[in-house]
Structure 1
Amino acid sequence: MPLIEREHLLSQLTDLYATAAAGRGRVALVDGGVASGKTELVDALAEQAAAEGALVLTAACSLAESTIPLGVVNQLCHGADLRLDVAVRDPDASTLRHDDARLLEDVCRLLLDLAADRPLVVVVDDVQFADPLSLQALLYLQRRIRAARVLLVLSGCVSARPAGAAFHAELTRQPHCKHLRLLPLSRDGVGRLLAERFTPEVARRFAAPAHALSGGNPMLVHALADDSLVTQDVPAVGDAFVHAALACLHRSDPRLLDVARAVAVAGPRASTDLVAALADVTPAATRQAVAALAEAGLVDGHEFHHPAVRAAVREDCPPGELTALRHKAARLRHDSGAPAAEVAEHLVAAGEPVEPWAVPVLVAAADEAATHDATAHALDCLDLALASTADPRERAALEADLVRLHWRAKPANTLRYLPSLLDAARNGHLDTADALLLARSLAWHGRYQDAEDVLAAVDAEHSDPDIAADHRATVAWLHHCHPTESAALPQVTGSTGSAPPRLPLDRAEEVLQRARPGDTLLVAAWSALRALISADRLDRAAHWCDRLHEDADRRGTTSWRAVLEDVRAAIALRRGDLAAAQRHATTALDTMSAACWGVAIGSPLAHLVLAATLAGHPEQADEALRRPTPPALRQSAFWPRYLWARGVHYDAADRQQAALADFRAAGDLAVRWDVDDPSGLPWRVDLARVHVRLGRPERARELVTEHLALPGADSPRAKGMGLRALAAACAPKQRQAVLSEAMDLLHASGDRHELAHAFADLSQTGQALGEFGRAKMMGRRALQLAEGCHAGLLRKKLQPLHDALDERDGGAVDGLAALSDAERRVVDLAARGHTNREIGHKLFITVSTVEQHLTRAYRKLGISGRSDLVPIGPTEEVFA
C-alpha cells in the first residue's frame, strides 16, 4: 500500500532514527484509527533502518495473546536470540515483582549491549494488545535509552484499552518521545490511492463518493475499489467493503465491537446513554468508541456510512446476543417514553415472543403503520403480539385486526384466522365490529351458514353510526352472497322482504364520498358502485372508480384495485367498449388470485366471458369458463350473471339448447333471489332472441313484454334492448318502426355495442323490404360502430351482408364516398331529424341551399328521400 499522505510521518521517523543512531535514544508513538496504515508506516521505517545496517527487533501484539505474561518481551528476545526464563504466577499482574524487575533489568542490559555495536530499532505493533507486564517492560526500557543508539517505535490505538490512557501519559511525558498521529485520508488522498487501481478519469470521478463511504480509511478505499472493478460506474459497496468493515472492528478493542453492535441495533436516532446501556459501558467510553468508529470511516455519529455495513454488523453478532440486544433496546426505549413505532421496530426485529408490557405497544405500532399504509410492518407487529399472549379476548381482537389488514392485499390469508375467530364469536369474545368483519369474511369465502350464525348474534341496533352502517352493509353483502337462504336474515335485520332494498343513489354517493381504500368496507363501496351502474349513472360510477383506484394504487390495497378493475369492466360493457371491458376484467383476475376472490370471482369471470365473446375471441371466453370456481359460487347472486354470460357465449357458438338452459337457469335464480335487473342482467332479451331464431316469436314477445314491465326497464338502455328483441319477433314493416325507436333510446344510453346491433338490424330489415340503399347505409354505420367498440363477433356477421349489398349495387357506397363535406353535414343533420330550416340555421346557409344539397345527396346515394337517411358522421359523433 503506498504511503499516501503519510510521507511526512515517514520523514519524521527517519529523523528520529538518525538521532537515535547518533547516540541519543528516541521513542516514537505512532497512533491512529483502525486500519489507518500504521503497520505499513513502521514497516517502511524498519526496512529503511535495516538497509542502513541497524538491528531491527519486532513484536506483533494480538488480542488472543494479550494474557500471556511478558509475551511481547519474549518476541523481542527471540528476535535477538536471547533466552528469557519467565516465571510469573499472576497473568493479570500490572506491577513487576522484585524477581521480574531483575529479569527485565537483565533484558534491557542485553538490548543495550546490542546497541553498542550498531543502532537498534525496536518495533512493537498493535501495542494496545500488549500484556500488562510487557507494557511495564516497555516503559522500563524507554527510561533507559536516553544515551543509547536505540529507537523504540510503538504503534497502535494506544488509548483504546482501559490501561492505555495511563500508558500513553507515562510514555509521552518523556521529552525524548515523539507522538505521531495518522489521520484519515483526505478526498485528494483517496483520489491518489484510487489512481493506483483505476484510470485517472475514473479515480477523479470516484474520489468524492469513495471518501464519503470510507471516511478516508485506506483499507476501506481499497475494498471499494475491489467491489467497483467490474462496473467502474459508481463506487459499489459489495462483499469486499463489508468484510473490510468487519475486519476493522474485529482488529480493534472488543469494546469497540460491542459499541458498534449497540449502534447497529439502536439506530441513528439513539442517544449516547442508550448505546452505552446496550454495550454495558460508560457514556464516556461510548463517546470515545464512537469517535474511534468515526475515525475508522465506519460511522457518522450513530449512523453507519452505508446500511450494508450496519446490517453486516448486526448479522455478525451471535444470534442469542443479538436477540437480547434487541429486547434490551426495546425496553430501554419504552422506559424512556419513546413512540410505540420505535419500540416495536426492535421487538419485531428480535422476532421472538415478548413480555406482556410489549403487547399493547405492538398493537399501537400496528395501528400507526396501517395508517401510513405500511401493511407488511403492521402485520409483523400483530403477528408478534398474537404469539405473545394467551388471553382469549386479546387474541380474538388481534386476529380480527390481522384479518382487516389481510383484506387490503390478500384476502385468502384471512382463511387461517376464521376457525379461531368463529370459536371466539361463539364464546362471546368478539366485539360487534369484529363480529361483523367475521361475518363478511365468512360469506366472501362461501361459509354462509357460519356467517349467518355470527350475524344472528349481533344486535342490529347500535348507537355508533359507523357500526350501524357496517351492520347494514354486512346484511346486504350476505344477501348478495347467499340469497338462497335470505328468509333467515329478516329475523336478524327486522326487514320483511326476501332481500334488503337496493341502495338509493344518494346513499350510494354518500358511501363513496366516505370511502377510503383499506379503511372502508370494500363490500359497501362495491355495493354503492353497483347501485350507480344499475341506475345507468355510468359517469358517476366511473368518476368514483377512478378516484378510488388512484387511492388504492397509492396505498397498495390489492383487493380494492382488483374489485375496482372489475367495476371498470362492468362500466365498459355498459358503454359497449368491449376491448376495455376485456382488459379490465383480465386485470381484475390477474391482480388477485382465485382464492383471494372467493365467491366474488363470479363477477370478473362473467365480465370476461361476455367481453371476449362479443369481441370475437371465443377461445379466451372458453379459457375463462374453464377456470375453477368455488362450489359456493352457485349459491350466490354472482351465479345468475355468470350463467347469463355463459349463455351468451353458447349462443354465439350456435349452441342454442345450451344457451336456452343457461338463460332460463339465470332467470329462475334472478327472480327467486330478487336480483332481477332488466339492464344489468337482461336474460329475457337474450332468451327471446333465441326463441325467435327457433321459430317461436310468440314466446319471444311474451318474454320481452315481461322485461319491459320490470322496475327499471324504462331506462334508455333496458328499454332499447327490449325493443330490439321485440322487433326481431315482428314483421319487417313493423320491425323498422320499433327498431327506429330502439335506436334513439340506445343512442341516448351511450351503449355503442347495442346501438351497432340496432343499426345492423335496421340494415337487415331494409334489405328484407328491398330498400337496399338504406340497408347499405345502415350496414355501413353498424360496421363503423362495431369497429369502434371492437365488436368482432358483430363485425364478422355484418361483413358478408355488407359485401353482398356491395356486389348488388356499388352506387350507394360510391355515392357515399362522393358526397362533398357540405353534403355530408347536411345529410347527417337531416338523418338526425332536423328540419331544413334548422339545418340552414346550424350551418349558416339558406334553406334553398339545404334543399339543393339534399337533392344531390339522394341522387348519389340512390335513395328516394329523407326517410332513407341515417347519420353518417364519424362514429364518435353518434354520441355528441
Structure 2
Amino acid sequence: MQDDLIERDAERAALDEALAAAVSGTGRLIVIEAAPGLGKTRLLKTLHDAPGRVLRARGSELEATFAFGVVHQLLDAVVLASPDTVFEGAARLAQPIFSEARPEQEDLLPLLHGLAWLVTGLAAERPLILLVDDAQWADEPSRRFLAFLAKRIDGVPLLLAVATRPAHDDPALSELISEPDARVLRPRGLTEDGTRAFLARAELDPALAASCHASTGGNPFYLGELARELPAPNPTALGPRAVAEAVKRRLDREALALARAVAVLGDGTDLAATFAGVEDPDAATRRLVSAGVLEPDLTFAHPIVRSAIYADIPAAERAAAHARAAALLASRHASPERLAAHLLEAPPAHDPATVATLRHAARRARELGGASSAAAYLTRALREPPPADQRAEVLTELGAAEARAGHAAATEHLEQAIELAADEPARTRAAIELARVLKFRGESVRAVPILERRHADGPLGEELEIERLGLAYLSVAARAAIRRSLTDPGGVPRTRLEAFTLAALAFDAGARGDHADTVADLATRALAGELLPPDPLGGGYAYLIIGVALMWADRLDEAAQLYANLRAEARRQGSVVLLATAAGQSALVNERRGALPEAAADAAEALALGREATGTEALLNSARASAVTAALERGEAVDETVLDGEPDTMPYMLVLHARAEARAARGDLPGAIADFRACGAYGQSWGGENPSVSAWRSRAATLLTDLGEYDEAHALVREELKLARAFGAPRAIGVALCVAGTIGAQPPLPALKEAVAVLEETPARLELARALVSLGSALRRGGQRAAAREPLARGLDLATRCGAAPLVRRAHEELLAAGARPRRIALSGRDALTPSERRVAELAASGLTNRGIAQQLFVTEKTVEAHLRGAFQKLEISSRTRLAQVLA
C-alpha cells in the first residue's frame, strides 16, 4: 500500500510542478502513458480546475479520421468567441481549419505553424492548459499538431498534457514521448495491499483482496466495476465484455438504449435521445449518471465503458445504427466529415449520395493535410460502390491521397484509374497524378513513358506538357529519357507553358554555355508574364531554374531578388517547402556574391526547415553544397554528412564539387581530384559543361599542380578559360584567369591583372578578393614589394568583409612579407556573428518584433531572444535601435 501511495503522490507532484511552471511562463509537456483503467483519465481530471484557461479534448475511435477533430474540440469555442482576433499574424494560416476556406496549398505544415501561433497567442493572454485524453484515437493531423506544438512551448505559459495508451506505433506520439523535456508518467496497477485498501474504502471485505487482485491485475477501474458487483462468490477476471454485462445489469431498457446511442453518435451529442427513441431522456440520463456510465453532459465517464457498451452492440445492428446516424445528421446539415465518420462503419448500399459525401469529406481532409483520412473515405466510397462512370475518378482521387499519405497502394490504384477511365482527359488526369507519385518517390524516369502516352488539349494539355518537361529539370535520368524539342515562343509569354518553355530554354542555354546575354534574355522573358506558380513541387519548379540561369549569367542581383520574392511568398503562404527551397537557392547566390555569413545562414535555414518538410529531399542539394563550401571559405569545421543528398538531380553536381573541396581541405588531394572529375562527368551527363555551373576544371588544376601534374593541370584550366570566354560571364572568366595565372598556365601578371579587371565588373566580391591577393603575391614574388601592397590591402579588406578567414590570413601574411604593417586581425563585430545570429539581427534591424521574426523563421520566440542576446554581446550594443547602423 505504501508503494502505491508514494507512486500516486509522485504523479500528482509532477502534475503540480508542471502546472506551476506553466502558470509562471515556462512551457511544460506531460505525457501520461498507461493501459486502459490505470489512471490516465483520473490524472488529467486533476487539472480540470487549474488556474488559467483549460481546454479539453478526447480522442475517439469514431472520429479518428476527422481531420483536426481533436483540435476542433480544443479550440472551436475559443475561435467562435473571438474570430477577429485569434487569427493575427501567422495564426491566420490556421483559419481554413475552422472555416470552409481552402488552404493555399495541400501542405500540413503551414496549418500546424498557424495553429502553434494561435495557441501561443492564447497563452500570452493568460496561462493555457491543453488536456488531450486518449490521444491514440486522435486523428492524424491533430496528433501531428501535438508533436509540432511540443517542440515550441519553451518560454510559453502553456501546459500540454497528453494521455495515451502504450504500445502504439504512431510516429507523432512517439515523438511526444521522446521529447527531451517531456515528463512521462506511467501509472501502474495497484499492488495486493493497495487492492485491500481499495476494498476497505468501498466497505467491502478486505479478505477478497487476493482474488480481486488476481481478477483485475490491480486495475483501479476494473476494481471499481468489481466492487459494484460484490459481494459475490468467486469474482472472475474482468474485461470489456464483463464490464458490458455488469453495466447492463445496472441499467433498464431505456437507459441502455440511450447509452448505446451515445456510444454510436459520440460524446456530448444532443441527438442521442431522438436517436434512441427514449420517452424521458432526463430520467434516463440521471440513471446513467448514477450508475457511473455517463457524465451529466452525456460524455462517457470512462472510455472503457464506452468501448464496452459499443462492442456489446451486435455487429449488424451496429452497422445499421451508423447508417441511421448518418441519415439523422444529414437531416441536420452536419458536415461531410461528421457524416463520413458514420458512413465508414455503415454497410454499403449502392447509394450515389454516400459516394458524393465521402468524396467531399476526402477533398476537405486532403486540403487540411489529412491524407490518410482522405484515403480511408475514398476506400469506403469504392466499396459502396460508386456509379460506373465515377469509378475511375474515385480511383484517381484515392491514389493521389494515398501518395500523400505514403501508402504503397497509390501506384496500383492510379494504374487502375488509367485503365478504367472512359475518356482521354480522365486518363490524362490519372497519369499526371501517377507521374507525381513516381517523381516524389525518386522514380522520375518511370514517369516519362506514362506521360508521353497521354495527350490533351486546353489547360489539361498544358498541365500535362509542363509536368512532362518538368521531369527533365528535376531528374537526370528522366532528362536523358525525355524527347524534347523546345522552341522559343518569342516575346512575352501568354501561357504558363510558354513561360515554362522560356525558363527551360534559359536553363539549357546556360548549362551548355550559350552566351550569357542570351540566357539572361530568356530568363527575363520567362518572368515577364507573371504566369508561373511559386510551388517548387509543381510546374517543374520554373522559378528555381530561372534563378539558376540568371545566377550562371552573373545576374546575381536579379537572382537574389527573385529568391527574396519567393521567400516572401513562402512566408505569406506559410509554405515550409517553398521557404526551404528558396533559402537553399539564396545560399548559392550569396556564396557567389561572396556574402559568406549570409550564405551559411541561408543554408542552415534551408536544412533545418527541410528536416520538418517531407518532399524536399531533391530540392535541398543546393543548401547542402553551400553549407559545406561556405564553411570551408570561412575556415570553419565541416560536417560532411550534410552531403548525403539525392543523387538524381542536377544540383547534385554541386554536392560533388563541395565533397571535393572538403577532401582537399583535409589533404586528400587524389581523392579531391577524383571527386572534381566525377563532378565534371556528372555535369556532362545532363549537359552542364559550362564552367559557370561549376569551375571544377580550375579547382582540379590547382590540386594537380600541387601534385606536379603540370601538363594536365594547364590543359584543364585552358579549356575552362576557353569555355568561360565563349559564355561571356565575367565571374567565370575571372576565376579561370586567376587560376591560369597562379599555376603558370598563362603568364602570371597579365593573367592576374586581367582577372582583377574582369571581376571588378561583377558582384562576386570574394573572387575579386582572391584575384587581388593572388596578384599581390605574384608582384611580391617578382620583387615588386611596393606595388604588391595596394592589391594585397584591397584583397585583405574585401576578404574580411566576405568573412573568408583563410584568405584573410593569407593576405595578412603576404602584406607582412611585402613590408607593410597591417592591423592585427580579430574576429569581432558583425563578422563574429553566427549565421543564425546574423539572420535574426538583420530581421530585427528591419523593424520586426521578436514574434514577427519567430513567425517568419518558423522558430520560437525564445530562440529569437537567445540569438539577439548573442548578437548584442558581440556587437557591443544594448538595444535594437543601433542594430541597423552596426550591421550596415
Relative to the length of structure 2, the TM-score reads: 0.52
Residue of structure 1 in register with 2:571 after alignment: 550
Q: Structure 1 pair 608/660, CA: closer, same or farther in 2 (3 Å)?
A: same
Residue of structure 2 in register with 1:421 after alignment: 414
Residue of structure 1 in register with 2:601 after alignment: 580
Deviations 1:154-184 (A, max 9, x none): xxxxxxxxxxxxxxxxxxxxxxxxxxxxxxx
CA distance in 1, matches of 2:546, 2:263: 50
1:734 aligns with 2:750: yes
Residue of structure 2 in register with 1:704 after alignment: 720
Q: Structure 1 pair 720/494, CA: closer, same or farther in 2 (3 Å)?
A: closer
How far residue 738 of structure 1 moved from its aligned partner, in angstroms, is 1.7
Residue of structure 2 in register with 1:666 after alignment: 679
C-alpha contact 1:498 1:673 (8 A) present in aligned 2: no
Residue of structure 1 in register with 2:658 after alignment: 645
C-alpha contact 1:732 1:765 (8 A) present in aligned 2: yes
CA distance in 1, matches of 2:292, 2:530: 55
CA distance in 1, matches of 2:47, 2:621: 56
Amino acid aligned to 2:465: H
Query: Where does the alignment leave 5 or more consecutive residues of structure 1 unmatched?
Result: 1-197, 206-222, 817-875
CA distance in 2, matches of 1:498, 1:521: 13
Name the SS for the 2:694 alignment partner.
Answer: coil
Residue of structure 2 in register with 1:761 after alignment: 774
Deviations 1:320-373 (A, max 9, x none): 63665444322332356544233124345x499786543331211121233345
- Tell me which of 816, 829, 837 is aligned to 1:806: 816
C-alpha contact 1:562 1:591 (8 A) present in aligned 2: no
Residue of structure 2 in register with 1:610 after alignment: 629
1:796 aligns with 2:822: no
Deviations 1:680-726 (A, max 9, x none): 43334434544665434752552233332444x43x54444344345
Between structure 1 and structure 2, the one with the greater Rg is 1
CA distance in 1, matches of 2:692, 2:886: 21
Q: Structure 1 pair 427/811, CA: closer, same or farther in 2 (3 Å)?
A: same
Name the SS for the 1:501 alignment partner.
Answer: helix
Residue of structure 1 in register with 2:562 after alignment: 541
Residue of structure 1 in register with 2:173 after alignment: none
Q: Structure 1 pair 510/345, CA: closer, same or farther in 2 (3 Å)?
A: farther
Deviations 1:5-47 (A, max 9, x none): xxxxxxxxxxxxxxxxxxxxxxxxxxxxxxxxxxxxxxxxxxx
Q: Structure 1 pair 642/655, CA: closer, same or farther in 2 (3 Å)?
A: same
Alignment of 1:20-419 (within 5 A): 227-228=45-46, 255-256=254-255, 258-260=257-259, 262-263=261-262, 265-266=264-265, 272=271, 275-279=272-276, 281-282=277-278, 284-286=279-281, 289=284, 314-319=306-311, 321=313, 325-334=321-330, 338-347=334-343, 350=345, 357=352, 358-375=354-371, 377-385=373-381, 389=385, 397-398=393-394, 400-402=396-398, 404-405=400-401, 413=406, 416-419=409-412
Name the SS for the 2:687 alignment partner.
Answer: coil
C-alpha contact 1:227 1:241 (8 A) present in aligned 2: no
Amino acid aligned to 1:796: P
How big is the alpha-carbon RMSD for the aligned residues of Structure 1 and Structure 2? 5.4
CA distance in 2, matches of 1:546, 1:678: 28
Q: Structure 1 pair 447/326, CA: closer, same or farther in 2 (3 Å)?
A: same
C-alpha contact 1:707 1:722 (8 A) present in aligned 2: no
Q: Structure 1 pair 228/722, CA: closer, same or farther in 2 (3 Å)?
A: same
How far residue 543 of structure 1 moved from its aligned partner, in angstroms, is 2.2
Residue of structure 1 in register with 2:240 after alignment: none
Q: Which has the higher contact order (CA 8 A, sep 6+)?
A: 2
1:515 aligns with 2:533: yes
CA distance in 1, matches of 2:559, 2:525: 16
Q: Structure 1 pair 786/676, CA: closer, same or farther in 2 (3 Å)?
A: same
C-alpha contact 1:573 1:611 (8 A) present in aligned 2: yes
CA distance in 2, matches of 1:264, 1:614: 65
Amino acid aligned to 1:501: L
Name the SS for the 1:647 alignment partner.
Answer: helix
C-alpha contact 1:648 1:659 (8 A) present in aligned 2: yes
Residue of structure 2 in register with 1:827 after alignment: none
Amino acid aligned to 1:463: G
CA distance in 2, matches of 1:492, 1:742: 33
Residue of structure 1 in register with 2:457 after alignment: 462
Relative to the length of structure 1, the TM-score reads: 0.53
Residue of structure 1 in register with 2:710 after alignment: 695
C-alpha contact 1:369 1:375 (8 A) present in aligned 2: yes
Name the SS for the 2:358 alignment partner.
Answer: helix
1:744 aligns with 2:754: no
Amino acid aligned to 1:675: G
CA distance in 2, matches of 1:665, 1:388: 56
Q: Structure 1 pair 344/310, CA: closer, same or farther in 2 (3 Å)?
A: farther
Name the SS for the 1:761 alignment partner.
Answer: helix
Query: Where does the alignment leave 5 or more consecutive residues of structure 2 unmatched?
Result: 1-15, 24-40, 55-128, 134-162, 164-218, 229-245, 490-500, 508-521, 827-883
Residue of structure 1 in register with 2:699 after alignment: 686
Q: Structure 1 pair 776/290, CA: closer, same or farther in 2 (3 Å)?
A: farther
C-alpha contact 1:351 1:384 (8 A) present in aligned 2: no
Deviations 1:763-786 (A, max 9, x none): 423433445466566556545555
Residue of structure 2 in register with 1:724 after alignment: 738
Q: How many residues align?
A: 570
Q: Structure 1 pair 725/387, CA: closer, same or farther in 2 (3 Å)?
A: farther
Q: Relative to structure 2, which stretch is displaced further, 235-244 or 261-270?
A: 235-244
Name the SS for the 1:365 alignment partner.
Answer: helix
CA distance in 1, matches of 2:680, 2:616: 24
CA distance in 2, matches of 1:366, 1:230: 34
Q: Structure 1 pair 468/258, CA: closer, same or farther in 2 (3 Å)?
A: same
What's the % identity of the aligned pairs? Answer: 21
1:477 aligns with 2:487: no
CA distance in 2, matches of 1:445, 1:878: 47
Residue of structure 2 in register with 1:216 after alignment: none
C-alpha contact 1:763 1:775 (8 A) present in aligned 2: yes
CA distance in 1, matches of 2:760, 2:363: 54
1:590 aligns with 2:585: no
C-alpha contact 1:764 1:775 (8 A) present in aligned 2: yes
Q: Structure 1 pair 380/644, CA: closer, same or farther in 2 (3 Å)?
A: same
Q: Structure 1 pair 385/484, CA: closer, same or farther in 2 (3 Å)?
A: closer
Q: Structure 1 pair 658/258, CA: closer, same or farther in 2 (3 Å)?
A: same
C-alpha contact 1:382 1:398 (8 A) present in aligned 2: yes
